[in-house]
Structures are given as C-alpha cells and as structure tokens.
C-alpha cells in the first residue's frame, strides 16, 4: 500500500482511538485526589512521547514508509493496547429479593463467575474478572427488578471497594464490594462492612500456590 494511503488510514484510526480513550477515561476511577481523566491523560502523553522514540528506531529498518506513517501505526497499536488495559466488564449481579447490605465478589478458583449472590451477599469471580472490573455493575433482584439506584459505591470516584481478609484454611480472602441500601436511604453509604471468614466457601477461594 502506498505511504500516503497508509498515513491517512492510520491517522484516522489513531484519532478515533484517542477520542474514544478520552471518553472512556472520564469514567475510569482516579487515585487519591487526581481524576482518572487526568492520570490517563498523563499516560497518553507518555505513549505519544514513547512512540516517537519507537518510530525513530523503526525508521532505521523500515525505510519504505515515512516517519509520520510509522508514527501513526505505532500510536494506533499503543492506543489499542491501552484500550484493552482500561477494559472493564459490566457485570450483571443478582441478589435475593429485599436484600440490603454489602455485596462482595470474592476472588476464587471458579471457571465462570458466580454472580447470583447468596443470602450473605457473597458471589465468586475469576482472577481475570477480579483484576479487570472497575465499572459499576447492573444489579437485579431475584424477581428481575433492576435496583442500580440503591447501589452505593466505595467513594464518589471509585465504585468498588477492595478488601483483603486473612485467613480461611490458610487462604487470603480478597473481594470487591459495594453496598445496597434501602429505598429510604438511596445514595447514603451505610457502612455494612463485615468479615467474610464465616460467609465464604473455602473450597472456592483462590490460592496463589
């Protein structure tokens, strides 16, 4: 393919990827007092600078294409990788009818997520889901009613709380959690935090061994 055509194609691709990244970063949790958009924006700047050096190196070996073409190709690949890094599945969680309190998704050795939580609000997720999840889930009662408005996250910038308890049968309990509050306290965190030692199935707990 001609250099000019390739430059146009990857220029458009890289621009679209950048726009969608910025949109996605507006929903990504931040850290401390910095927003996800600010931190992610700094990372994007780092990508753009790093790709300049990568392109300089590529130009030594690929002389057929112009510097700008190779640069657009490089940042397109980097932006795709960053998109994957930021990806978060939107989980569908089912809770018992009338349930209020903490919902905990425990890191486990299961092959598929168990998102229908028990009477203690405990479900089980795979290591991949545990590591990738940051977006707010869709939550339904067992009878099918959507109750997202009754869900309260860890804080305004981070929905999922991350907990670590020790130990059950020598295994550490790691969980992602949020609260479901009664209708008369919507939006108000009730701090229903509890230990999970007596509520989890120890056979499902993930072990690093």
Domain residues of the chain, as ranges?
3-86, 92-204
Say whether pLDDT at 209 is over 60. no
Say whether pLDDT at 106 is over 90. yes
| Residue 157, pLDDT score | 73
Using CB atoms within 10 Å of the CB of residue 174, give its burial: 0 to 12 exposed, 13 to 18 middle, 19+ buried. buried
Judge if the upstream peptide bond of residue 167 is cis by omega within 30 degrees of 0. yes
Residues 113, 122: Cα–Cα separation, whole Å? 12
DSSP state of 124: E
| Residue 48, pLDDT score | 96
What is Dmax (Cα atoms) for the chain?
67
State the pLDDT confidence band at 16, using cuts at 50, 70 and 90: very high
Over residues 107-162, the pLDDT tens digits come to 999 999 999 999 999 999 999 999 999 999 999 999 999 999 999 987 777 889 88
Please give the C-alpha separations between residue 83 and each of 21, 30, 52, 92, 93, in angstroms, as whole numbers: 7, 16, 20, 22, 24
Region 15-30: mean pLDDT is 90
Q: Which of 96, 174, 194 is nearest to 133 (CA)?
A: 174
| Residue 164, pLDDT score | 86
Residue with structure tokens 């009818």? 97
Q: Is 158 left (phi over 0), alpha (psi -120 to 50) or beta?
A: beta
Over residues 42-96, the pLDDT tens digits come to 999 999 999 999 999 999 988 889 999 999 999 999 999 999 999 999 999 999 9
């Amino acid at each position: 393919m001609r250099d000019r055509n390739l430059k146009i194609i990857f220029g458009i691709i890289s621009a679209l990827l950048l726009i969608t990244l910025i949109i996605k970063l507006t929903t990504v949790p931040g850290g401390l007092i910095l927003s996800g958009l600010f931190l992610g924006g700094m990372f994007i700047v780092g990508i753009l600078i790093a790709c300049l050096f990568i392109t300089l190196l590529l130009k030594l070996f690929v002389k057929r294409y112009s510097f700008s073409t190779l640069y657009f190709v490089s940042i397109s690949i980097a932006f795709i990788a960053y998109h994957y890094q930021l990806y978060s599945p939107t989980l569908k969680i089912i809770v018992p009818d009338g349930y209020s309190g903490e919902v905990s998704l425990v890191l486990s050795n299961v092959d598929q997520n168990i998102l229908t939580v028990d009477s203690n609000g405990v479900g089980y997720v795979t290591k991949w889901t545990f590591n990738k999840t940051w977006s707010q889930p869709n939550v339904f009662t067992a009878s099918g009613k959507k109750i997202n408005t009754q869900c309260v996250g860890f804080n305004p910038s981070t929905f999922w709380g991350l907990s670590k308890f020790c130990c059950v049968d020598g295994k550490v309990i790691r969980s992602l959690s949020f609260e479901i509050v009664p209708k008369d306290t919507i939006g108000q965190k009730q701090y229903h935090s509890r230990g999970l030692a007596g509520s989890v199935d120890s056979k499902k707990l993930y072990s690093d061994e």
